[in-house]
C-alpha cells in the first residue's frame, strides 16, 4: 500500500506520519510511507489544507490530524 502524507513539515504532518506508521505496524499492514513537502506537488493533488493523505493515488484526507479510527479504516479497506 502506497501512502503519501502531504505537508510542509508542520507538527500535524509529523504526527500524521507517526500515527499511520504506528497503526500499520500494529495491524501488520505493509505500507510505503512517503512525505511530500513540495508545495507544487501538494497542490497537484488539489489539497489546500495540510496534512493531506493520499493512498494508492487517491486523496483520502485533508486538513488536521486524522483519528486512529479513520486510519484503521483506510488500512483495512485500501
Give the residue extent of every domain in the chain.
1-6+14-31+38-51+61-78
Could you give the CA distance from residue 52 to residue 38 in angstroms, rounded to a whole number? 13
* Helices within 1-78 (DSSP H only): 11-27, 39-44, 68-77
Average pLDDT for residues 8-36, to the nearest whole number?
95
Q: What percent of the chain has pLDDT over 90?
A: 94
| Strand-strand pairing, 52-55 and 2-6 | antiparallel
Phi, psi of 42 (to 5 degrees): -60, -45
Could you give the CA distance from residue 13 to residue 52 in angstroms, rounded to a whole number? 8
For the cut 80, the answer to whether the pLDDT of residue 6 exceeds it is yes
Instruction: Write the pLDDT tens digit of every residue in 38-65.
Output: 999 999 999 999 999 999 999 999 999 9
Total-model pTM:
0.93
What pLDDT, on the 0 to 100 scale, is given for residue 77?
A: 83
Length of the chain: 78
Amino acid at each position: 500500500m502506497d501512502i503519501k502524507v502531504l505537508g510542509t513539515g508542520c507538527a500535524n504532518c509529523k504526527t500524521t506520519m507517526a500515527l499511520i506508521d504506528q497503526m500499520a505496524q500494529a495491524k501488520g499492514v505493509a505500507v510505503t510511507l512517503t512525505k511530500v513537502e513540495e508545495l507544487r506537488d501538494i497542490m497537484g493533488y488539489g489539497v489546500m489544507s495540510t496534512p493531506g493523505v493520499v493512498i494508492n493515488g487517491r486523496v483520502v484526507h485533508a486538513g488536521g490530524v486524522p483519528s486512529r479510527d479513520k486510519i484503521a479504516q483506510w488500512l483495512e479497506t485500501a
